[in-house]
Amino acid sequence: MNQYRLAILDDYQGVAEDFAPWSSLAERGVAVTVFGGHFGSEAETAAALADFDIVIAMRERTPFPRSVIGQLPQLKLLVTTGAANAAIDLEAAAEHGVVVCGTGGSPTAAPELTWALLLAFARNLTAEETSLRAGRWQHGIGFELAGKTLGIVGLGKIGKRMAAYGRAFGMDVLAWSQNLTEETAAAAGARRVSKEELFTESDVVSLHLRLSPRSEGTVGERELQLLGPQGVLVNTARGPLVDQTALVSALQEGWIRGVAIDVFDEEPLPAGHALLAAPRTLLTPHLGYVTQESYRAFFGGAFEDVTAWLDGSPIRVLTP
């Protein structure tokens, strides 16, 4: 007889069972259910998971605020892939006796996608391929990165890799965040500047901050206006770092050259979202961490978290 019920959430590609031996948990009294679709509301989440003891959440795909956690009376262990998850209320989890654990991840997946998006935007690859397949030839004219200025907002692990990529492509690299020091920036090959200077002087601005109440809305109308009509914004961090209303206006009214975006204020991005109709955009469906290497770390780590918890010695605990 099964002692625990475990739910794996938002397995969009149907691959969770390819990256960890979930079926082996049956020997330990754990019944595993995989959810391939996305819950559209807190009510759906609470109703679907009310009888589960263990939940595996893929990044921030399904939020777990206090209002949801309070409706999950059976929940004992909540595992998030990655070492942090802004969509989980850790204090509420602790108050309800829920252990929250994290996993490792890939340090290269997100910055590699970020650079791929920038290159694709610069050389107009999506439009060029579409044109070619339609029987046309050389649709537009791209631009080079060499000699341009790259502004990095958030010089953490990903931001530092971006700085190295920028230097390798012959770009001048600027950096800004609220607590960044000149020494840290210099060590990464970047020059620390003010926020205003970064958006004014950069040809490309790439965002790499963690989402928090302090960082939400870091980029608004003023920053987009400073970036200017030749400036490109790249966001593979989190959608709410950018004021979405201001961003749509910037694209529609030509404040900036364009955007390359992998993250959105609402995910999955709903049909009819304003960005889908906005000009000069390159959009991808939050692929920053979606690699074989990353999934091995995520699902493998989640499996380790579950087995450690079953053994009575939780690992990588995030709850206070």
The per-residue pLDDT for range 222-246, each reduced to its tens digit, is 999 999 999 999 999 999 999 999 9
pLDDT tens-digit map of 153-197: 999 999 999 999 999 999 999 999 999 999 999 999 999 999 999
Cα-only R_g, the chain: 21
Inter-residue contact 289 to 301 (CB < 8 Å): no
How far apart CA 265 and CA 134 sit, in angstroms, is: 33
Hey, is 134 helix, strand or coil?
A: coil
8 A C-beta contact, residue 260 and residue 232: yes
- Tokens 């956690």 found at: 69
Distance in angstroms between the alpha carbons of the first and the last residue of the chain = 33
Tell me which residue of 219, 262, 5, 311 sits closest to 121, measured CA to CA: 262
Read out DSSP for 134-176? TT----------TT-EEEEE--SHHHHHHHHHHHHTT-EEEEE
Look at residue 1 in the predicted model and tell me its pLDDT.
56
| 46-74 residue pLDDT tens | 999 999 999 999 999 999 999 999 999 99
Residues acting as catalytic residues? 238, 267, 286
Q: Report the percentage of the chain scoring pLDDT > 70.
A: 99
- The pLDDT score that the predictor gives to residue 15 is 97
Counting residues of the chain whose pLDDT is more than 90, the rounded percentage is 99
Q: How many helices (H) and strands (E) does the chain have?
A: 12, 12
The C-alpha angle 259, 241, 270, rounded to 5 degrees, equals: 70
Mean pLDDT of the chain, nearest integer = 97
Query: Before 229, cis peptide (omega within 30)?
Result: no
pLDDT tens digits, one per residue of 269-295 = 999 999 999 999 999 999 999 999 999
Say what the pLDDT of residue 236 is: 98
- For residue 66, the model assigns a pLDDT of 98
Tens of pLDDT, residues 125-137: 999 999 999 999 9
